[in-house]
Amino acid sequence: MTVEFEKIKRQNMIKLPYMLDFYPLQDAKFTRIDRFFQNLKERKLTTTKCKACGKVLWPPRIMCPECFSENLEWINLGVDGELYAFTEMKLGAPLGFVEDVPFCIGLVKIGGLLISARIDGAKYEDLKIGDKVTLKIIELEDDRIFYRFCKVKE
Amino acid sequence: MKKVAIVGGGASKCGRREASWRDLVQEAGKAMFENVGNISPKDVDSLIVGAAQPERFVFQAHVTPMVAECLGITPRKVAARTELMCASGQAAIRYAWACVGSGMADIAVVFGVEKMYMPDMTEAQTNMTCVLDREWDGVNGLSAPPFFAMTAQRHMLEFGTTKEQMALVSAKNHHYSTMNPAAHFQKEVTVEDVLKSIVISPPLNLFDCSSITDGAAGVILVPAEDAKKYTDTPMYIVGTGQASVGNVINNLANITEWVPLKMAVQETLRTANITRDEIDIAELHDCFTISEIMEYEAFGWCEKGSGGKFIENGEPHIGGKVAVNPRGGLLGCGHPLGATGILQALDIFQQFRGEVPQGRHVKGAEVAVAHNLSGAANVHSIIAYSRDLK
């Protein structure tokens, strides 16, 4: 009896699946904070503020975790931030970011919040704590959108 | 609640292993049952498995029955799996302790395992980048090294901590791991080696970072009143503390002071009814050199901001104020996520029994703590162990 042997072919490369993609799903079919991304398209970085207790929430929410109110409003965080800390991704980048290495990552103070973001427009060596940074918007190939910051030229 | 003891355990060799996830399980399981001669797999009524990301690293969910099947265990009281990222193994010990203490389980195996080496390591790095909030922090490339790099940058700015002081942590822990045959690394690392190693995320160099590691380990828990049936030298679980504050960067308590760790320390000392000066051995979560420095401070062995000086003065060495990471730490032993908390417990067990090499043996040690942080250092978990039942 011969044992049957067959070499089968499979698709070698697959499209980066959404659940291995760090950028969030953004339209109203998948999230109730789609307004955040619509605002980004209009070049505005916004978040939700609780109208009941006054807490500014980050990330934007559909309910205030402090008082459970759903009475939230969208507020504009402006475009001017300050670098609180920064580093550079030199090794160990995940799928989707490998091509960008090396790139700078920072913690940015903006609108009373401290948020992480990619920092463009400068090498690691050119950055210092306290640097002024300004909002930058990026758009992905599938029209999804996200924010980064850029070092302000002195 | 009944008092609970660990009566034995075993581990696989840790490292870049030419072995599968289930191979590691079988290696550690065999070592564990050989260590406790009079408990057979069929005596075990409960199994709790600490595993951080088997869904990602080996594309396998529902892993508790797989471990049970690999080891011939048929749980009939408790079967569960814990995930708390870097603290997954310790979380498993906590729950098994609660189960045995409450009478829900009588003989419980706590098992931790992680297979992290993959054919394409970009995939492994991807897994490690969904630990912080993926949509708001991970999306910016914020995996562990950049996060702890920025923590180090702020600590250096605010308190004058130096890269040399951070490197001393790595040198100490690598020194102890040269005497640990189960460790991933057995080579001495000098301060200069650390400073000259390649930059991962500045100011962190390669030897400031714990490694990606394959490994598995298990321990067996029974009620303290039964412990001497299985060994003359059990180890007792005497206290615990855990706290979690915030998750996304904006909602962390503080970047340069680990508030949830201070909370967990207080709760551990309270529940164990000990003072920090009674702690002889501290297995601390040195995922990065800066972590251990900040942990000296949060435990209160030195003032806030003076962790760098603490290591410079040799205080966390054996013979100093407290022996920190005589196992070799995550820096020397590697960090197989689900196994780490169990490897720490196992090494403390062997320390109390005098079964570790002399050069890293803390003689006369009676009280020890094992600590793990997870995520953006927003979660801290501690268990206190004692050689004797007080």
Name the minimum distance, in Å, from the CA of A2 to any CA of chain B.
31
| Cβ-contact B296, B307 below 8 angstroms | yes
Q: What is the pLDDT of residue B132?
A: 97
Looking at the fold, whether A56 and A104 belong to one and the same domain comes out as no
Give dist(CA B228, CA B334) in Å, integer: 33
The answer to whether A31 faces chain B, any CB pair under 8 Å, is no
Looking at the fold, whether A92 and A139 belong to one and the same domain comes out as yes
Looking at the fold, whether A85 and A126 belong to one and the same domain comes out as yes
Give dist(CA B110, CA A37) in Å, integer: 45
For A85, the 3-state DSSP assignment is strand
Backbone angles phi, psi at A40, to 5 degrees: -60, -40
| Cβ-contact A117, A144 below 8 angstroms | no
Tens-place pLDDT, residues B8-20? 999 999 999 999 9
| Cβ-contact A94, A124 below 8 angstroms | no
End-to-end CA distance of chain A: 80
Looking at the fold, whether A109 and A66 belong to one and the same domain comes out as no
H helices, E strands: number in chain B: 13, 12
Within a domain: residue A2? no
Q: Please indicate whether, in this complex, the C-beta atoms of A88 and B202 are within 8 angstroms of each other.
A: yes
Other beta carbons within 10 angstroms of residue A24's beta carbon come to 18
Q: Kindly indicate whether the ipTM for this predicted assembly is greater than 0.85, answering yes or no.
A: yes
For A50, half-sphere exposure in the C-beta direction (CA atoms, 13 angstrom radius) is 18
Looking at the fold, whether A101 and A60 belong to one and the same domain comes out as no
For B291, the 3-state DSSP assignment is helix
Q: Please indicate whether, in this complex, the C-beta atoms of B141 and A97 are within 8 angstroms of each other.
A: yes
List, in sequence order, every beta strand (DSSP E) within chain B. Answer: 4-11, 46-50, 78-82, 108-114, 199-201, 204-205, 215-223, 235-244, 281-283, 323-324, 367-374, 379-386
Looking at the fold, whether A106 and A55 belong to one and the same domain comes out as no
Tens-place pLDDT, residues B39-68? 999 999 999 999 999 999 999 999 999 999
pLDDT band, residue B341 (cuts 50/70/90): very high
Which residues does chain B have within 8 Å of residue A24's beta carbon, measured at their own beta carbons?
134-135, 139
β-partners of residue A132 are: A82
Pairing verdict, β B367-374 and B281-283: parallel
Looking at the fold, whether A69 and A114 belong to one and the same domain comes out as no
Domain assignments of chain B as residue spans, ordered by start: 4-120+213-235, 140-209+238-386
Tens-place pLDDT, residues B224-277? 999 999 999 999 999 999 999 999 999 999 999 999 999 999 999 999 999 999
Overall fold of domain B140-209+238-386: Peroxisomal Thiolase; Chain A, domain 1 (3.40.47)
Residue A12 has pLDDT above 80, yes or no: no
Q: How many domains does chain A have?
A: 2
| Cβ-contact B222, B364 below 8 angstroms | no
Within a domain: residue A11? no
Q: What is the pLDDT of residue B52?
A: 98
Domains B4-120+213-235 and B140-209+238-386 share a fold: yes
| Cβ-contact A105, B142 below 8 angstroms | yes
Tens-place pLDDT, residues A62-73? 999 999 999 999
Looking at the fold, whether A58 and A90 belong to one and the same domain comes out as no
Looking at the fold, whether A49 and A100 belong to one and the same domain comes out as no
What DSSP element (H or E) covers A146? strand A145-151
Helices B259-272/B289-299 angle, 10° precision: 50
Option in A22, A58, A89 nearest B139 (CB): A22
Within a domain: residue A8? no
Give dist(CA A133, CA A148) in Å, integer: 10
Within a domain: residue A102? yes
Which residues does chain B have within 8 Å of residue A149's beta carbon, measured at their own beta carbons?
none
Looking at the fold, whether A135 and A84 belong to one and the same domain comes out as yes
Range of the domain at A61: 23-76
Q: Please indicate whether, in this complex, the C-beta atoms of A105 and B140 are within 8 angstroms of each other.
A: yes
Looking at the fold, whether A68 and A131 belong to one and the same domain comes out as no
Mean pLDDT of B164-180: 98
Alpha-carbon distances of B34 from B27, B37, B64, rounded to whole Å: 11, 6, 21
Within a domain: residue A15? no
Name the minimum distance, in Å, from the CA of A147 to any CA of chain B.
9
For A37, half-sphere exposure in the C-beta direction (CA atoms, 13 angstrom radius) is 20
pTM for this model (two decimals): 0.97
Within a domain: residue A6? no
pLDDT band, residue A14 (cuts 50/70/90): confident
pLDDT band, residue A15 (cuts 50/70/90): confident
CATH class of B4-120+213-235: alpha beta
Looking at the fold, whether A65 and A86 belong to one and the same domain comes out as no
List of residues 6+ apart from B60 with CB closer than 8 A:
B21, B54, B66
Option in A20, A88, A115 nearest B126 (CB): A20
Give dist(CA B138, CA A103) in Å, integer: 14
Give dist(CA B226, CA A68) in Å, integer: 48
Within a domain: residue A12? no
What is the Cα gyration radius of chain B?
Answer: 19
Option in B151, B200, B249 nearest A92 (CB): B200
Domain CATH number, residue A116: 2.40.50
Within a domain: residue A45? yes
Return mean pLDDT, chain B.
98
